[in-house]
Amino acid sequence: MHVKSTRATGVALRVALGVVLLARAGSAATITVGAGGDLQAAIDAAKPGDTIVLQAGATFTGPYKLRAKQGTTFITIQSAPNSALPPAGTRVTPSASPMLAKIKSSTAGPAFRTDVGATYWRLQLLEFLPGSSSSSANLVEFGGAGVNQSTLGAVPQHLEMDRCYLHGDPSYGQRRGLALNSGDTRVLNSYFADFKGLNQDTQAILGWNGPGPFLIENNYLEAAGENVMFGGTDPSIPNLIPTGITLRRNLISKPLKWMTQSWTVKNLVEFKNAQSVLVEGNTIENNWSAGQQGYSILFTPRNQSNTAPWVIVKNVTIQNNVIRHVAAVFNVLGYDNLAPSQQTQDITIRNNLIYDVSTAYAIPNHPANGRLAIIGAGPKNITFDHNTVDNNGSSTIFIYGGATPTGVHILGFELTNNLLRSNSYAVYGDRYGEGNIAFTNYTPSPIVLHNTFANESAKLYPIGNDFPTTAQWLADFASVSAANYQLVSSSLSNNAGTDGKDLGVDFTELAAALNGAAPAPTPTPTPTPSPGGTTPYGGTPVSLPGTVQFENYDAGGEGIAYHDSTTGNAGGAYRQNSVDIKSSTDAGGGYLVGWTTAGEWLKYTVKVAASGTYAIDVRVASSGAGGTFHIEVNGVNKSGTMTVPDTAGWQTWKTITKTGVALAAGTQVIRVVMDSNGPSGSVANFNWFAVR
């Protein structure tokens, strides 16, 4: 049994029976591990840039530990090359199994786990499976929880899983595929199947104690409980919120044959503690009423063990997805109803094709309701725009009061440009009734414009909407029976949106997102007052009035989205460019932008709901007197000089305010500019700014 390595210089390295004999020269090595070889010894011996190649079809039983190494180059563990394996960018399927090395979990632990502070590991073209029905709950663990990962410094970073096949046992299932508690991690082109269990939650991917960012792209994700979930267990790291989550071009599904089996089924995607989330270009399908009511995508903050009152769900965009064959779609909960949490906010649901939402997706004694959405407990800034929805539930949107410390009102509710039907009630408010009375009691000053409410009474709803018969509404589509919901040329919904576009889905934008051909356009043009063009972080402008986190500056790079006078991220957190970011201990946690100096600046693309005069609050901290800065909107100084006071510490926070700021409606670019340093040589630490 042996492991063999060769470097570019031809010098050999041999790992035999756990004894490592090194003769290193040159740069990267290829370390070959055959059946029965010591994979852990190869991992321990590997250096940044190395590739560990495992014999195709060979089986290795974990747990194996990915070590903390110095360096910034990936170490790759992969199966032996084979031209029949999928190339980069192509999703692996179970048919590749004979060509993949197999890594089993065991009762001793997962197939792979990470050391504290491990960095730059890539798992590629591997198969992961349980060794037995009593094996570890997780097949793979990126990061951990508890005392071993209670600070951000312990979090593994720069991890990647690409074209891997993870699966449970067809008979007894498996609790979880990937425990995702790391930072800067990508899960790409992989296949997760048979994650299922009896009387327990199961997931393909679950993250709760990692800061992110996370990219989950072009995977097949199958699980009985929650296919993908963030939160649900309290973080061990104080104030941690998984941040910067992107789910793109995945097939998120459950096999319909499970409807006649006994697995515990809940939902498809759930966010219990997450912020700055983009769900785009996915097909999300097959969910029924069983262990829960059948809602498929949930925004439900949970302080699960009452130790994490900072948990929140905010800044989430669900766009350009196909959602189908489900019992119900969205569940939006303002606050945890069992323990303290923060308020759910800034949820945008736009340009999604949603069909076959049906009461038929239910098992005996678990009826389904066929709704588009249920919203309660007072979230804020909830937007539905340009969605096409075909459902058969008695109410399409149901709003209720619920347990909420800030009241049941949903401030910032927008319902625009959607193609909706009413089977009994289009929008129903619990205890009050449908239409205007629901809006009056639950959504003060809503924007409800240019929607169709098929089969509804116009007198019950705001003016500025359309009320065709159900037959007329169905006739507007090319072929409902073939799930072709493009509008026919004679439809009155063509070019009828508030933005001049067709009502419902923009199918060109949807197709581009599903195919990965090009990034979807932003809903409205973004002004570019500074050199070059930026795009909103997360893909969608932040809605104002509202709060903008300083770390969520636009994408676009140095000199375009930001200017920083030093290279590298001095705080080493959240984003991988030259803006200096670290964890914040302010209420609500998250991150701060620090080490700021005169001449630096950051841009933020926002969308102002209505023209008016506003106040701008800025959350700052400084040990000693701070410096000065100003805030521009579309290149115009709107704040004048703002001076940072001595707050008595870099993590001791105070809010300073500028009143009387005139803002126009629509999409704007805000630029925060550092003008002068304080005695410390810095302007301040910045947590967030808010427009109210």
- Contact call for residues 670 and 607 (beta carbons, < 8 A): no
Asked if 490 and 565 sit in the same domain, the reply is no
Q: Max CA-CA distance within the chain?
A: 83
pLDDT in the model for residue 443? 96
Closest alpha carbon to 77 in 184, 3, 174, 180 = 3
Does residue 22 form part of some domain?
Answer: no
Asked if 378 and 277 sit in the same domain, the reply is yes
- Contact call for residues 294 and 368 (beta carbons, < 8 A): yes
Task: State how beta strands 685-691 and 546-549 pair.
Answer: antiparallel
Asked if 308 and 457 sit in the same domain, the reply is yes
Instruction: Report the number of distinct structural domains present in the chain.
Output: 3
Sign of the alpha-carbon dihedral angle for 505, 507, 511, 517: negative
Asked if 434 and 565 sit in the same domain, the reply is no
Cα dihedral value 201, 203, 209, 212, nearest 10: -150
Asked if 120 and 236 sit in the same domain, the reply is yes
Asked if 200 and 92 sit in the same domain, the reply is yes
Q: Based on the number of CB atoms within 10 Å of its own CB, is 207 exposed (0-12), middle (13-18) or buried (19 or more)?
A: buried
Q: Give CA–CA dist 208/221, Å, rounded.
A: 18
CA atoms within 13 A on the CB side of 490: 6
Q: Give CA–CA dist 607/545, Å, rounded.
A: 9
- Contact call for residues 174 and 202 (beta carbons, < 8 A): yes
- Contact call for residues 202 and 179 (beta carbons, < 8 A): no
Q: Give CA–CA dist 106/121, Å, rounded.
A: 21
Which of 470, 491, 521 terminates a domain? The answer is: 521
Positions of E strands within 49-92: 51-54, 59-61, 64-66, 75-79
- Expressed as residue numbers, the domain containing 178 is 56-240
Does residue 4 form part of some domain?
Answer: no
CA distances from 409 to 252, 340, 402, 444, 488 (A): 33, 18, 10, 7, 38
- 545 three-class SS: coil
Positions of E strands within 488-611: 542-544, 546-549, 562-563, 581-583, 591-593, 601-608
Beta bridge partners of 553: none
Does residue 47 form part of some domain?
Answer: no
Walk along the chain (692 residues) in steps of 10 and give the mean pLDDT of each run.
46 41 62 97 97 98 96 96 97 98 96 96 98 93 96 96 98 97 97 96 98 97 98 97 96 98 97 97 98 96 97 96 98 97 97 98 97 98 97 97 95 96 96 97 94 96 96 97 97 94 97 77 36 69 93 86 88 85 85 94 93 94 95 91 94 93 92 94 95 92
pLDDT in the model for residue 536? 87
Closest alpha carbon to 390 in 415, 361, 367, 358 = 358
8-state DSSP, 18: T
Q: How many CB atoms lie within 10 A of CB 367?
A: 13
- Contact call for residues 498 and 492 (beta carbons, < 8 A): no
- Contact call for residues 166 and 140 (beta carbons, < 8 A): yes
Does residue 214 form part of some domain?
Answer: yes
Does residue 46 form part of some domain?
Answer: no
- Contact call for residues 268 and 318 (beta carbons, < 8 A): no
Does residue 12 form part of some domain?
Answer: no
The model's pLDDT over 142-186, given as tens digits with 9 standing for 90+, comes to 999 999 999 999 999 999 999 999 999 999 999 999 999 999 999
Q: Give CA–CA dist 264/9, Å, rounded.
A: 55
Which of 521, 553, 586 terminates a domain? The answer is: 521
Asked if 499 and 628 sit in the same domain, the reply is no
Does residue 260 form part of some domain?
Answer: no
Q: How many CB atoms lie within 10 A of CB 294?
A: 29
Asked if 578 and 452 sit in the same domain, the reply is no
Q: What share of the chain is helix, strand, coil (3-state, %, to 5)?
A: 10, 45, 50
Q: Based on the number of CB atoms within 10 Å of its own CB, is 107 exposed (0-12), middle (13-18) or buried (19 or more)?
A: exposed
Cis peptide before 213 (omega within 30 of 0): yes
Asked if 300 and 444 sit in the same domain, the reply is yes
Name the residue type at position 607.
K
CA 30 to chain centre: 35
pLDDT in the model for residue 540? 83
- Contact call for residues 45 and 52 (beta carbons, < 8 A): no
Asked if 194 and 316 sit in the same domain, the reply is no
Domain CATH code at residue 655: 2.60.120.260
Asked if 347 and 280 sit in the same domain, the reply is yes
Asked if 234 and 355 sit in the same domain, the reply is no
Query: Which position has the token pair 């930072």?
Result: 183
The model's pLDDT over 285-315, given as tens digits with 9 standing for 90+, comes to 999 999 999 999 999 999 999 999 999 999 9
Which of 240, 257, 286 terminates a domain? The answer is: 240
Name the residue type at position 364.
P
pLDDT in the model for residue 26? 57
Beta bridge partners of 295: 328
Q: Give CA–CA dist 385/609, Å, rounded.
A: 14
pLDDT in the model for residue 249? 97
Does residue 192 form part of some domain?
Answer: yes
- 582 three-class SS: strand
Sign of the alpha-carbon dihedral angle for 148, 228, 522, 444: negative
Positions of E strands within 125-190: 126-130, 138-143, 157-162, 165-167, 176-181, 183-188
The model's pLDDT over 623-665, given as tens digits with 9 standing for 90+, comes to 999 999 999 998 889 999 999 999 999 999 999 999 999 999 9
Give every CB contact of residue 99 below 8 A, 6+ residues apart in sequence: 56, 57, 79, 82, 84, 85
